[in-house]
Amino acid sequence: MRVIRVHNVSKSFAKLCAVNDLSFEVEEGTCFGLLGPNGAGKTTMMKMIYGRSSRDNHNGGGIDVLGYDPARDELAIKYLSGVVPQENNLDDELNVIQNLLIYSKFYGLPGKVAKERIKGLLEFLELLEKIQSPIRELSGGMQRRLVIARALLNHPKLLILDEPTTGLDPQVRHVIWDKIRQLRAQGTTILLTTHYMEEAFQICDMVLIMDKGKQVLEDNPQRLLRENIETYVLEVPIANGTPALCESDPPDGVRLDRTDATMRFYAQGIDPLKSVADKLAGNPYYLRQTTLEDVFLKATGRALNEKQ
Amino acid sequence: MKSSDAVPYPALSQRLYSVWYRHVRVYTKNLVSNGLPPFLEPLLFLLGVGLGLGKYITQSMEGLNYIEFLGTGLLATTAMFTSAYECTFGTFIRLEFEKVYDGMLAAPITVNDLIVGEIIWAGTKGVFFTFAVLCVLTAFRIVRLPEGLLTPLVGFITGVMFATLSLWVTSFVKTIQHFNFYFTGFISPMFFFSGVVFPISNLPPSVRFIAELLPLTHCVRLARAVCIGRYPPSLLLSLAYAVVFTVIVGWLAIRRLRRRLVR
């Protein structure tokens, strides 16, 4: 079953076209990632899904979420979904449980049910001992987990996360990834935005890379990596005395991508890159497997856009 | 497409209640610092006037001695001020700085629910602040019970009216300093030209005409009528003004804020 179906959706603000004719589908019980640089239109796309942003209706596009159209049935969609916005907007005046109790009212949960559910969710997100703590005393990672707990209050069929781990340390990030995997295993469908390629690779079943509002690539992360970029990369920082490797053509099967500060040699096998490295005469280099980040940079370009 | 009836999302009353409940919980968290000033302010004001200014004013105003005239006016102005602050600075901070609305609008409520809940909350604050003034006035025997018990209702009406106006103003504001124009240019002058400090009946006709258009004038009239238990038919005009004002300005506020919240 498809939980989200987006077809030919566009959204423009004044002069800017934030989302340009985007289409994708999200299968039930999978994790779908929207990837792209800042300003690519990820958050706008996400907001259109839960009715917080309205799509352009001149080009006949449509959105179907769990059988409902956000332009008409935003309440049904919001009731069945949980949303983790980009910023942690907890009420600082209140403590952990009070923050969640306030939100339980929005779902019409009776007090007793709400309290039991809150305890379960705090336990799941490893926050139970903080149940009476004021928000100010929580670390950034705890606040983020609390916002996730808040989004899970109504046992959502669809969980929407806007940059769930931006600015968090590696431990917290791994904990959050584990929680997302567990939720998916329980059948929750997950839609997230991120600009961490590692995150997309770790938890997403499908990834859509977007840039300037348009779809650039869409596939399963392993396949994206396999089909869109060579397996290895040799990175050579350019300093005084770095041999002029780039002046001559790179060997067969090796692709060179050069910026002012770095040369990057890509190849399917490791041996041609080793032979390039040998010519470096002791200058520093870094030989590694390519990651989704390399695909991303290849697809969206290395130059900064006006929003970055 | 399925019918949305299949999803048991909360009814309108529950949605409005949950917005209101959020504000009540956050406000009552600091009960002492939030709850004491509404009682202290009228106390200090009346002490100042009673011990000082009042001695020089011996003429009665609209059949009331000065402290009664001013005191009954304060029942309405206190609701105006609290509602105006709540729906300008309070709303703007929730909108732009704390991003509270981003979280609330991810829950199953609409923008309309959010704004109407906000207005009802401002009305509730009007009730509470008017009640505080009523306690002080009753303690000084300026207002008699049980007549005075209806004044919190006027506080609600006043709070709701100024909530709609203040939310409409907020919908235009880009930086928080802009509210200074609203307060020094509109709210504060209204305190002097709405029959709170002196009656408007003896003002020059042109000024009086303007005073009659100001919302606070009608709130003050309602408050005073309730206190003295006299209900002239012209009071219906003030009541009608309150209803029409709330509906029209409320509609404008919702329309403009909606564009700011759902883009």
Asked if A107 lies within 8 A of B10 by C-beta distance, the reply is yes
Helix (H/G/I), strand (E/B), else coil: A125: coil
- B108–chain A Cβ distance below 8 A for any pair: yes
> Contact, A292 vs A221, CB < 8 A?
yes
Residue B165 counted as domain residue: yes
CB neighbours of B252 closer than 8 A, spacing ≥ 6? B164, B168
**Structurally, what CATH architecture does the domain formed by A2-226 represent?**
3-Layer(aba) Sandwich (3.40)
Q: Which residues of A touch B18 (CB under 8 A)?
A: 102, 105-106, 108
Q: What is the per-residue pLDDT for A244?
A: 66
Please, what's the b/e burial string for B74-104 (b: 16 or more CB within 10 A of its CB; e: otherwise)?
A: bbbbbbbbbbbbbbbbbbbebbeebbbbbbb
Residue B4 counted as domain residue: no
Q: Which residue of B has its CA nearest to A161?
A: B106
Q: Which residue of A has its CA nearest to B15?
A: A106
Encoded tokens for B135 = 């306690």
Work out the minimum CA distance from B247 to partner chain A, whole angstroms: 25
- A51–chain B Cβ distance below 8 A for any pair: yes
pLDDT digits (tens, 9 = 90+) for A175-229: 999 999 999 999 999 999 998 888 898 899 999 999 889 999 999 999 988 888 9
Phi–psi pair at A187, nearest 5 degrees: 105, 0
- A123–chain B Cβ distance below 8 A for any pair: no
Asked if A90 lies within 8 A of B103 by C-beta distance, the reply is yes
Structural domain spans, chain A: 2-226, 230-289
Q: Which residues of A touch B100 (CB under 8 A)?
A: 89, 91
Asked if B108 lies within 8 A of A151 by C-beta distance, the reply is no
How many independent structural domains does chain B possess? 1
Residue B29 counted as domain residue: no
Listed residue (A173, A274, A279, A179) closest to A233, CA to CA: A274
Q: Which residue of A has its CA nearest to B109?
A: A75
Tell me the ipTM for this assembly: 0.88
Q: pLDDT in tens for each of the 263 residues of chain B?
A: 555 567 899 999 999 999 999 999 999 998 888 889 899 988 998 888 877 888 888 888 888 888 899 999 999 999 999 999 999 999 999 999 889 999 999 999 999 999 999 999 999 999 999 999 999 999 988 888 888 899 999 999 999 999 999 999 999 999 999 999 999 999 999 998 999 989 998 899 999 999 999 999 999 999 999 998 889 999 999 999 999 999 999 999 999 999 999 98
Residue B3 counted as domain residue: no
Identify the residue among A102, A107, A147, A150 best suited for mutation to test binding to B, counting B beta carbons within 10 A and taking the highest: A102
Q: Which residue of A has its CA nearest to B11?
A: A108
What global pTM score does this model have? 0.90
A75: nearest CB among B22, B25, B110: B110
Identify the burial level of A62 via C-beta atoms within 10 angstroms of its C-beta, where 0-12 means exposed, 13-18 middle and 19 or more buried. Answer: middle
Range of the domain at B122: 12-22+36-41+59-261
Q: CB-hemisphere CA count at 13 Å for A179?
A: 23
Give the 3-state DSSP-derived string for A133-186, with helices as H, strands as E and coil as C: CEHHHCCHHHHHHHHHHHHCCCCCCEEEEECCCCCCCHHHHHHHHHHHHHHHHC
Asked if B25 lies within 8 A of A50 by C-beta distance, the reply is no
A76: nearest CB among B7, B14, B25: B7
Q: Which residues of B touch A90 (CB under 8 A)?
A: 103
Residue B129 counted as domain residue: yes
Residue B197 counted as domain residue: yes
The pairing of strands A206-211 and A189-194 is unpaired
Output the CA–CA distances (angstroms, integers) from residue A35 to A110, A118, A145, A300, B157, in the order listed: 38, 31, 22, 10, 50
Q: Any idea which fold A230-289 has?
A: Alpha-Beta Plaits (3.30.70)
Q: How many CB atoms are located within 10 Å of the residue A279 CB?
A: 10
